[in-house]
Amino acid sequence: MISADRLVSEGVKQITPYIPGKPIEELEKEYGIRGAIKMASNENPLGPSPKAIEAMKKCFSTLHRYPDANSLLLKKQLSIKLRIPQDCIIPSNGSNEILELVSKVFLRPGHEVIIPEPTFSLYAKFTQAMDGAPIRVPLKNFGIDLRAVLEKISPRTKIIFINNPNNPTGTIVKKKEFEEFLKNIPATIIIVLDEAYGEFAEEPDFPQGKNYLDAQHWIITLRTFSKVYGLAGLRIGYGLAPQELTQYLNKVRQPFNVNSLAQVAAIAALDDNDHIEKTIGIISDGKKYLYRQLDQLGVNYIPSQSNFIMIHLGKQCPRVYDFLLRMGVIVRPLTSFGFPEYIRLSIGTPEENARFIDTLKKALLNNQ
């Protein structure tokens, strides 16, 4: 047998595996504790939309059938809600699937993909899977540096990723800067605007990707049902793009990419304004509470336009992270993102937020 190394491309070899948030069950088993809380994966602290749960129950008896291969009803609902043509919408198996489809359709070996980093790790992963070259552009003051991105454009540039709000910093690119930036983008480049956390952005100047479908540029926007709609476990999201692009993305996706439960749940969740408003409210209130508490503790953080906050713990970060874990509070360490002195805290229910603050206080006291 030859070594498996010789069977795969250099790009695939270079991929660093995705590190998910630690599951509650695993932590409880490891430390012999109970009642742990997870504030690590930016999920909805209120749970799934109740209307989505009801809709799924009605769907159980038809699960022997394949799902609608084109998610037509969902596309119709999205088209009404977003006021955009159905042909511009492509429902997906989590918004992650759109990232995969985009790289499959548009990337060839040697293409360059500009990625402002630290950010969501999957942009680099899917680029490397296609033997593309990730061109990493460091953030400036924790925000995306669009000027530095423009400087990296070369004749080989194929895609530019803009994560807005950016994970893990929670910062945003504003409408005016984005539109200035677009003026300098050659027509051969595709911009992927990842708005997984777009619903949480409170800044009125947030540029909504859905408004750029007939712009002079190729912009593909990602949205998800995993965050504000609370359906992360179902794996459902969608892409928005001019029809000239969605037709190609549709060619390479699996015919039944979105399962039946996800389709009916998403349709119901879209209409569940009560759940959407409660979620946005609880995140906004939780953020204010956490800012106040962190200010009192003298702990620095990056003001966030999302449902998570990046918190600076300095040199004691690994110790505090470990203390939180042992006390059953799971947060996200950011060493793999290149921020070893920070954690990312997903904003939770008021009780979860208070427990995080109490435990953090104990951890900080413990050091003295």
Ligand X SMILES: Cc1ncc(COP(=O)(O)O)c(C=O)c1O
SS3 content of the chain, % helix, strand, coil (to 5): 45, 15, 40
- Under the binding rule (CB under 6 A), the answer on residue 353 touching ligand X is no
- Nearest-CB residue to ligand X? 94
308-312/342-346 β-pairing: antiparallel
In whole angstroms, how close is the CB of 306 to ligand X at the nearest point? Answer: 9
Residue with Cβ nearer ligand X (162 or 327)? 162
Handedness of CA 198, 202, 206, 210 (dihedral sign): positive
Q: How many residues does the chain have?
A: 368
Residue with Cβ nearer ligand X (95 or 259)? 95
Residue with Cβ nearer ligand X (95 or 257)? 95
Residue with Cβ nearer ligand X (127 or 163)? 163
The number of C-alpha atoms within 13 Å of 313 and in the hemisphere containing its C-beta is 29
Which one of the spans 48-56, 82-90, 93-101, 359-367 is the region binding ligand X (CB under 6 A)? 93-101
Handedness of CA 332, 333, 338, 339 (dihedral sign): positive
In whole angstroms, how close is the CB of 234 to ligand X at the nearest point? Answer: 9
- Under the binding rule (CB under 6 A), the answer on residue 169 touching ligand X is no
Triad 30, 340, 235: Cα angle to 5°: 60
In whole angstroms, how close is the CB of 181 to ligand X at the nearest point? Answer: 19
Among 146, 172, 232, 317, binds ligand X (CB under 6 A): 232
Residue with Cβ nearer ligand X (305 or 359)? 305
In this structure, the number of other CB atoms found within 10 A of the CB of residue 18 comes to 11
Burial class of residue 309 in the structure, from the number of CB atoms within 10 Å of its CB (0-12 exposed, 13-18 middle, 19+ buried) = buried
* Pairwise CA distance, residues 98 & 210, whole Å: 15
- Under the binding rule (CB under 6 A), the answer on residue 257 touching ligand X is no
- Under the binding rule (CB under 6 A), the answer on residue 96 touching ligand X is yes
In this structure, the number of other CB atoms found within 10 A of the CB of residue 33 comes to 13
Among 226, 260, 263, 305, binds ligand X (CB under 6 A): 226
Using DSSP, state whether 67 is helix, strand or coil.
Answer: coil
Among 106, 120, 229, 323, binds ligand X (CB under 6 A): 120
- Under the binding rule (CB under 6 A), the answer on residue 167 touching ligand X is yes
- Under the binding rule (CB under 6 A), the answer on residue 103 touching ligand X is no
Binding site for ligand X (CB under 6 A): 42, 94-96, 120, 163, 167, 194, 196, 224, 226, 232, 237
